[in-house]
């Protein structure tokens, strides 16, 4: 099923299950001070035969999706990289932390510090393992069920402006196709989840291209799924809109290494969408 349909159904489910709480103003408290309503433990799944999962019932700012993912892959944690590409989605989190973001996703993906003092490039490692599996799919590979990348470094959590909301994630190779599953501890359904779906779907396509595999399926596990009190009207508006057919993703076919991708190498094609729906991020 089209993941946008599943996403909209999840929005409806949260509104329906929390109808009385909303009417009475009984919100779930959290660290941001902005109450929420939600559910726990849901799954979304997408087959890319349906298209690329950029939601159409509101405009997805795909430029920021690209910029942030390339920032992660570059192992960067500074704002300069993002600002040069017109992306300001991390500014508020940095402002709360003295202008610094700390050892967040990019650091953990590309330079995880182990107890032995060594650093580990999880992205390079997982791509190498996928290539080995793809090269000889009939041979049992010791890491075929260990294709995991995690940003959740317990030793570094206190130094992070925001502990990872999404990740770990795991790749799977079967019949020449590369699949991806993502685990998300905290899921801001209106603002965050559409962005996360597009980001990890893009990562799947990029890794599939550089490992010579076809793109398989995308599975997204959502744990604490919530809608913030100040975004309820935006969600209701989005639910009045009919989805359009999903767009397609174009990647520059000449790129063969994950670190070679640039903003211009990644494009959405035939992206028809409804107007943006603005909402204030709770940090």
Catalytic positions: 165
Mode of pairing for the β-strands spanning 166-174 and 177-188: antiparallel
**Is 226 annotated as a binding-site member?**
yes
Q: According to the annotation, is 145 in a ligand binding site?
A: yes
Residue 28 token pair: 């779930």
* Ligand-binding site membership of 150 (annotated): no
**Token pair 């508006």 is at which residue?**
237
The rounded distance, in Å, linking the Cα atoms of 276 and 156 is 36
- Please indicate if the annotation marks 278 as binding a ligand: no
228 annotated ligand binder: yes
- Does 187 show up as a binding residue in the annotation? yes
Annotated ligand binding at 227? The verdict is yes
Would you call the peptide bond into 84 cis, given omega within 30 degrees of 0 as the criterion? no
Spatial CB neighbours of 37, under 8 Å, sequence gap ≥ 6: 14, 15, 18, 21, 22, 27, 28, 226, 227, 229, 232
**β pairing state of 166-174 and 148-149:** antiparallel
Q: Which two tokens stand for residue 98?
A: 């003295």
How do beta strands 36-47 and 214-228 pair?
antiparallel
Check whether 186 is labelled as a binding-site residue: yes
Whether the CB-CB separation of 104 and 77 falls below 8 Å is answered with yes
The binding site consists of 31, 145-146, 185-188, 196, 226-228, 282
């Amino acid at each position: 099923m089209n993941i946008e349909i599943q996403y909209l159904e999840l929005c409806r489910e949260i509104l329906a299950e929390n109808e009385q709480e909303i009417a009475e103003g009984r919100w779930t408290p959290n660290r941001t001070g902005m109450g929420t309503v939600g559910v726990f433990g849901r799954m979304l799944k997408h087959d890319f035969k349906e298209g690329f999962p950029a939601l159409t019932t509101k405009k997805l700012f795909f430029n920021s999706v690209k910029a942030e993912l390339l920032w992660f892959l570059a192992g960067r944690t500074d704002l300069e990289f993002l600002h040069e590409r017109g992306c300001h989605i991390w500014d508020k989190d940095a402002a709360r932390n003295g202008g610094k973001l700390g050892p967040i996703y990019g650091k953990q993906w590309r330079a995880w510090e182990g107890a032995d003092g060594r650093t580990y490039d999880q992205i390079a490692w997982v791509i190498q393992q996928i290539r080995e599996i793809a090269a000889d799919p009939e041979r049992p590979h010791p890491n075929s069920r260990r294709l995991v990348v995690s940003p959740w470094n317990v030793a570094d959590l206190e130094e992070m402006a925001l502990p990872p909301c999404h990740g770990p994630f795991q790749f799977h190779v079967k019949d020449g196709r590369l699949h991806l599953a993502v685990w998300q501890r905290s899921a801001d359904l209106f603002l965050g989840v559409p962005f996360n779906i597009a980001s990890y779907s893009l990562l799947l396509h990029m890794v599939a291209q550089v490992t010579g595999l076809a793109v398989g399926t995308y599975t997204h596990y959502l744990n604490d799924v919530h809608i913030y009190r100040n975004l309820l009207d935006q969600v209701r508006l989005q639910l009045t809109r009919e989805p359009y057919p999903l767009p397609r993703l174009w990647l520059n076919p000449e790129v063969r290494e994950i670190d070679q991708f640039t903003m211009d190498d990644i494009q959405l094609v035939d992206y028809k969408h409804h107007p943006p729906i603005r909402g204030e991020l709770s940090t």
